[in-house]
Chains A and B, each alone.
Chain A
C-alpha cells in the first residue's frame, strides 16, 4: 500500500518537474522566436491589405485585385536607361499621429506606392556603393531607401509595404538601443531578434548609426555637456565636458571615444548579427561640419576615422543648401547625400521633389512656369509672372541659386534674359559643383569679369573694365564653357574670355548670384534661360 503511494508521488513529481521544464524551457525557446506574435500577425494582415490596395489603385477592379493576392504579378516597370545619379531617401518613424520625424502608415504607403508607379526601384547598399565607386551601372530611377534610429514602428509598419512592392531598405540602428550589453529589451527600438528577422527576410540591411552609449549618463539621447555651463552639443563632434574633473576631455580622450563609437558600433553589429557593416549614418547629420561644435578639428578626425571603418557614410541635404540632392559617380562616398522625405508630403509631392533633382539633359529651356529644380542656397527665390526673381534678404548682401540636376553638364552655352532691378553685381554660374567650386561671369556697372572658384579660392581669369548700365534694363547675357575656356556674353557677343580654367572644373551645372555691399539691396529678375550643348 505504501508502495502505491510512493509510485503516485514519483509519477506526480516527474510530471511536475517536466511541467516546470516545459514551461521555463518553452518560454526561453520562444523568447527569440518572432513568429506567431501579435506583431507578426498584424504585419501579415497589413501585407494583404496593402497588396489589395496597391492592386486596386492600379486597375480599380476588386476581383482582379483580389486575384493578385494569390499571384506574384509583375509590378516592375522595365527601365532601359542607366542611372546617372541616385537619390537616397531618409525616413525615421511611422506612427499613427505624425510629427516632424514620423509619418502615418497611410502617408508612407502613399509615398511608396507613388514611387513604384513612377517606376522607382530600390537598390541594395553594396550596389549603391559600387555605383558611387564607378564600378557598377544601375537602371534609371534607382534609389536607396533608408531609415534612421532602428525604431520598431518603422520596421513593423514599413515591412508589409516593402514586401508588396518588392522594395528593400537599409536600417541604421543604434547599438546601445538595439543590442545593449545588459540585454534590456526595449519596446521602442528593434531588438536583436527583430534585427535578425529583418536580415533573414532579405528585405532589410542593417548598418550603423553609432553606439550612442551613455558614459556615466553624460550622453543623453546623443547630447553631451560641452562646457562648464549647461551648454549641450552633439556627442560625436564635440569635446565632452567632464564635470567631475572640471575640464573638457583631451583630444586624445576624444579620439578614443570617437574610435569606440565608429569602430565599436561596427564591431558589435558584425559580431552579434553576423553581417558585414559598410555604412554609417551621421547622428544629427553632424560630421563635424556644423559651426556650433566646440572643436573644428573634429571634422578632420571624424573623416579620418570614418574612412578607416566604413566605405559609405550618409549626411542630409537640405532645401536651402548649396549642393545637388542626388548622388553621382565618383562623389565622396563618405558624405553621401540623403533626402529626408517630409512627413506631410503626398506621394505626388515626393515624386515632383525627386523630379527636380533628376538629371536634366541638354538642350534645356526654362520659362519658369514652375520650379524645375532651382535651388536657393543664399538669399531669396520667387517665381512670378513667368520669371524667376532672386534677391537679398534682410540678413544677406546677396543671393545664390543653382539648378539641381545639371551637375553632369560639360560643354555648353547658357543664354538668359535678365533684368537687374537692385544692387551692384549679378553673376552667371557655370560648371557649378558646389558653392566653393564653379566658374562665373560677373556683371556690374564697372566691369565684366570671368572668374573661377576652386575649393573656395577665387581667381579672376579676365576682366574688362568699362562703363555699363545694367540697372533697370532688360539684358541678354550668357556664359559658355568649353574645355578650359569660359566666355562671358553680352548682347549675344563674347564680352570676356577666360582661359586656363582649373581641371577640377571639368563639368558642373548652372546658377545665378546677386550681390551688393549693402544688406537687402540686390535683386535680379530672370525672364528666361536656355542651355545648349556646344560641340
Chain B
C-alpha cells in the first residue's frame, strides 16, 4: 500500500529521477564554482587594467561572450517551441531530398536508402541524386540502386560543375514543398524526419538545420576530438544562434529549406563572387545567408539526427578547417552590412563580437604563449587557467544536456588545439583566399 502510494506520488508529483537530480545539482554546483574561480582570476587581470587595458577588456569580453553563448543555448528549446505554438496537428508537406555527389561510391548507397526509409508517407517523398562528374564507380552504384528503387531520380553530369550547381539543379528539379539537402556522405536518422520538417509549420521559417554527429567518431583520437567539437558546435553554438531564430550556417550535412524561398535566389547564389572570383567553399553558409536576407528565420533542431563522416587524418582535417574558415570569413563579410540594419540585436550581441574575437584571438594567444614568456619571462598561467575554466564551464553544460555523451573530455583537447593551432589557421585561410580550387576532402 505504502509502496504503491510512494510510487503514485513519485509518478505524479515528483516526475524526477533522483539520481538525475543529484547529478544536475552537482553539475550546477561545479558550474557555479567554476564561474566564481573565473571571477577570481579576473581579479588578477584587474590589476593589469591600468597597465594594459586592452588585455583586460579582451579577457572580460571573451569570458562574457563564451558565457553568453551557453546562456543563449540554454534558452533554445523554449525559443523553438514558440515558433511551433500554432497547434501541432499532423503537418506533412511533400519533401524532396537532394544529394549532390562526386566520387562517393562507398557512402552514397547508405545516404540514399536512409532517405527512402524515412518515417514519412511514401507518396510525399522524392529523392534526387546529382552525380557531379564522378570518376569512380559512383554512377554504377547509382544505377544499381535505381533498379531496386525506381522512384530515385538520378541526374548524371559527365563534367564536374561544382557543388553549388549541383544544389541548384536539385532545387530546380524538386517537386516537394520542402527540400532536404544532404551531403553525399551524410544521412538522416529515418525516425527523426518529422522533427526536421515540423518547424516549417510556421510560414516565417525558411530553413531548418538537423543535428549532426560524426558516424566514425571512434575511429581514432582525431575523430573523437571532432565528435566532441561537433557536439559543442551544434548543441551550443547553433542552438545559441537558433534562440534568436538566426542560424548562420544551416549545415551542409543535413538541412531543410522551403523551396519557394530558395528558387528565386538561386541565380544570385550561383553568381556570388568575392574579390572578383566565384566562391567555391561555404556553400551551406552562403545559401543560409540568402534565406536570411530574404527575411526568413533559420533554426536548428536537435531532435532531427543526422550522421556524417569526419576527416580521419590530420591533412584532410586541416584542409577542411581552412575551407570552413574561408567560408566563415567571406560569408560573414557579405552578410555583415545587411545584418546590422535588419537584426541589430543579434549583430551586436553575437555576430560582431564573434568576428572581433576570431580576429583577436590569434594575436592574444601569440602574445600570451610566445611573446610574454620569451620577452618578459611571464608564464601564461592566468591565460591558460582562463581558457581552462571557460572550457570547463562549457563541459559542465555539455554534461548537463547530454549525460550519456562520452566525448566530453576531448573538449579540453579541442580548446587547446584551437588556441594553439586553429585560431592561427584563419590567417593562412585569409592569405590563400584567392585560391578557389574546389577542394572537398
The residues of A with any CB-CB pair to B shorter than 8 Å are 1, 4-5, 8-9, 11-13, 15-16, 19-20, 22-24, 26-28, 30-31, 33, 36, 182-185
- B316 interface residue (CB < 8 Å to A): no
Of A9, A12, A20, A183, the contact of B60 (CB 8 Å cutoff): A20
B167-188 near A? 1/0 per residue, CB < 8 Å: 0000000000000000000000
The contact string, 1 if C-beta is below 8 Å from chain A, for chain B 66-87, is 0110011001001100110100
CA distance A117 to B38 in the complex (A): 46
Residues of A within 8 A of B50 (CB): 182-185
- In the bound complex, residues from chain A placing their C-beta under 8 Å from that of B47 are 31, 185
Complex Cα distance, B72 from A27, in Å, reads 24
Q: Is B418 an interface residue (CB 8 A)?
A: no
Query: Do B71 and A31 touch across chains, with their CB atoms under 8 A apart?
Result: no
> Which residue of chain A has the shortest Cβ distance to B76 in the bound complex?
A8
Closest residue of chain B to A20, judged by CB?
A: B64
B contact residues vs A (CB 8 Å cutoff): 38-40, 42-43, 45-47, 50-51, 60, 63-64, 67-68, 71-72, 75, 78-79, 82-83, 85, 202, 243-245, 345, 349
How many Å lie between the Cα of A22 and that of B40 in the bound state? 11
Contact B79 A5 (CB under 8 A): yes
The answer, among A11, A15, A30, A184, for a CB contact under 8 Å with B43, is: A30
Residues of B within 8 A of A4 (CB): 79, 82, 85
Task: Contact check, B243 vs A12: say whether CB atoms are below 8 A apart.
Answer: yes
Q: In angstroms, how far is the closest chain A Cβ from the Cβ of B150?
A: 43
Chain A residues with CB below 8 A from B79, complex form: 4-5, 8
The A contact surface, by secondary structure, is helix
Inter-chain contact A16/B85, CB cutoff 8 Å: no
Chosen A-B contacts, 28 in total, with CB atoms closer than 8 Å, are: A1-B83, A1-B202, A4-B79, A4-B82, A5-B79, A5-B244, A8-B82, A8-B243, A12-B68, A12-B72, A12-B75, A12-B243, A13-B349, A15-B71, A16-B64, A16-B349, A19-B64, A19-B68, A19-B71, A20-B60, A23-B63, A24-B42, A27-B39, A31-B47, A183-B50, A184-B50, A185-B47, A185-B51
Whether A12 and B349, one on each chain, are in contact in the complex, defined by CB atoms closer than 8 angstroms, is: yes
Contacts of B244 in A (CB 8 A): 5, 8-9
- Cα–Cα, bound, A5→B68 (Å): 17
Q: Considering the complex, give the chain A residue whose CB is closest to the CB of B38.
A: A23
A8 lies within 8 A of B75 (CB): yes
Partner of A16, one of B38, B40, B46, B71: B71
Q: Which residues of B are found within 8 Å of A13, using beta-carbon distances? A: 349
- Verify B349–A5 contact, CB threshold 8 A: no
Taking CB atoms, residues of chain A closer than 8 Å to B245 are 5
B85 close to A1 (CB less than 8 A): yes
Give CA–CA (A22, B64) in the complex, Å.
10
Known: A5-B244, A8-B75, A8-B244. A31 touches B67 (CB 8 A): no
Interface residues of B, dominant DSSP: helix
| Complex Cα–Cα for A198 and B51 (A) | 26
Total contacts A-B at CB 8 Å: 76
Contacts of A33 in B (CB 8 A): 43
Q: Are B64 and A27 in contact (CB under 8 A)?
A: no
Residue in A1, A11, A27 whose CB lies within 8 Å of B75: A11
Contacts of A5 in B (CB 8 A): 79, 82, 244-245
Check B39 against A23 for contact (C-beta < 8 Å): yes
**In whole angstroms, what is the CA distance A362 to B247 when docked?**
97
Beyond contacts A1-B82, A27-B46: 15 other A-B pairs, Cβ-Cβ < 8 A, are A5-B244, A8-B75, A9-B244, A12-B75, A13-B349, A15-B68, A19-B68, A19-B71, A26-B40, A27-B60, A28-B46, A31-B46, A31-B47, A183-B50, A185-B47
Task: Please name all residues of chain A whose beta carbon is closer than 8 Å to the beta carbon of B71 when the two chains form the complex.
Answer: 12, 15-16, 19
- Chain A: minimal CB distance from B48 (Å): 9
- Residues of chain B with a CB closer than 8 A to A184's CB: 50-51
Q: How far does the alpha carbon of A31 sit from the alpha carbon of B46 in the complex, in Å? A: 7
Q: What separation, in Å, do the CA atoms of A27 and B60 have in the docked complex?
A: 10
What residues of B have a CB within 8 angstroms of the CB of A36 in the complex? 40
Given the known inter-chain contacts A5-B245, A9-B244, A16-B64, please indicate yes or no for A27 contacting B43, CB distance below 8 A.
yes
Known contacts A8-B78, A27-B39; A16/B60 CB under 8 A = no
Contacts of A28 in B (CB 8 A): 46
B60 lies within 8 A of A24 (CB): yes
Distance between B62 CB and nearest chain A CB, rounded to angstroms: 11
CA distance A444 to B46 in the complex (A): 76
Complex-state Cα separation, A421 to B243, whole angstroms: 104
Closest to B57 in A: A24
Give the distance in Å from the alpha carbon of A384 to the alpha carbon of B26 in the complex. Answer: 78
Inter-chain contact B68/A16, CB cutoff 8 Å: yes
Complex Cα gap A43–B38 (Å): 23
Q: How far is the CA of A5 from the CA of B85 in the complex (A)?
A: 13
Interface pair A26/B42, CB less than 8 Å apart: yes
B82 touches A22 (CB 8 A): no
Contact across chains for A30 and B85 when beta carbons are under 8 A apart: no
Give every chain A residue within 8 A of B39 (Cβ-Cβ).
22-23, 26-27, 30
Q: Which residue of A lies closest to B51 (CB)?
A: A184
Could you tell me the distance between the alpha carbons of A30 and B42 in the complex, rounded to whole angstroms? 9
In the complex, what distance in Å separates the CA atom of A26 from the CA atom of B243? Answer: 29
A8 CA to B345 CA, complexed, in Å: 12
Smallest CB-CB A-B distances: 10 pairs: A4-B82, A27-B42, A26-B39, A30-B43, A27-B46, A31-B46, A185-B47, A16-B68, A27-B43, A15-B71
* Residues on A with beta carbons closer than 8 Å to the beta carbon of B51: 184-185
Provide the residues of chain B in CB contact with A20, threshold 8 Å.
Answer: 60, 64
Enumerate chain B residues within 8 angstroms of A183, measured Cβ to Cβ.
50
Question: Measured between alpha carbons, how far is A28 from B67 in the docked complex, in Å?
Answer: 20
Residues of the A chain whose Cβ atoms lie less than 8 Å from the Cβ of B40: 26, 30, 36
**B67 contact set on A, CB distance < 8 A:** 19
Q: Which of A8, A11, A20, A184 has the most CB of B within 10 A?
A: A8
Residues of chain A within 8 A (CB-CB) of B82 are 1, 4-5, 8
Chain A residues, Cβ within 8 Å of B38: 23
Bound-state Cα–Cα, A11 to B243, Å: 12
CA distance A9 to B243 in the complex (A): 9
Nearest A residue to B68 by beta-carbon distance? Answer: A16
Give A22 to B202 CA distance when docked, in angstroms: 38
- Name the residue on B nearest A3 (C-beta): B82
Q: With both chains docked as a complex, state the minimum distance between the C-beta of A193 and any C-beta of chain B, in angstroms.
A: 10
A320 to B161, CA, bound (A): 97
Task: Name which residue of chain A comes closest to B81, CB basis.
Answer: A4
Chain B hits for A1, CB < 8 A: 82-83, 85, 202
Bound complex: CA of A184 vs CA of B52, how far in Å?
Answer: 11
B residues less than 8 Å from A15 (CB atoms): 68, 71
Task: Pick the residue among A8, A16, A23, A185 that contacts B42 (CB under 8 A).
Answer: A23
With both chains docked as a complex, state the minimum distance between the C-beta of A504 and any C-beta of chain B, in angstroms: 56
Give the residues in chain B near A8, CB-CB below 8 Å. 75, 78-79, 82, 243-244
Kindly list chain B residues whose C-beta atoms are within 8 Å of the C-beta of A182.
50
* CB-CB nearest in chain B for A31: B46
Give the shortest distance, in Å, between A186 (CB) and chain B (any CB). Answer: 10
Chain A min CB distance to B243 (Å)? 6
Among B43, B63, B82, the most chain A Cβ lie within 10 Å of the Cβ of B43
Q: Closest A residue to B79 by CB, please name it.
A: A8
Smallest beta-carbon distance B335→chain A, Å: 20
Instruction: Please measure, in the bound complex, the distance between the C-alpha atom of A8 and the C-alpha atom of B242, giving whole angstroms.
Output: 12
A182 to B51, CA, bound (A): 10
Query: In the complex, how many angstroms separate the beta carbon of B54 from the nearest chain A beta carbon?
Result: 15
A15 to chain B, nearest CB (A): 5
Chain A min CB distance to B240 (Å): 10
Given contact pairs A8-B243, A184-B50, A23 touches B72 in the complex (Cβ within 8 A): no
For residue B78, which residue of chain A has the nearest CB? A8
CB distance from A147 to the nearest CB of B (A): 24
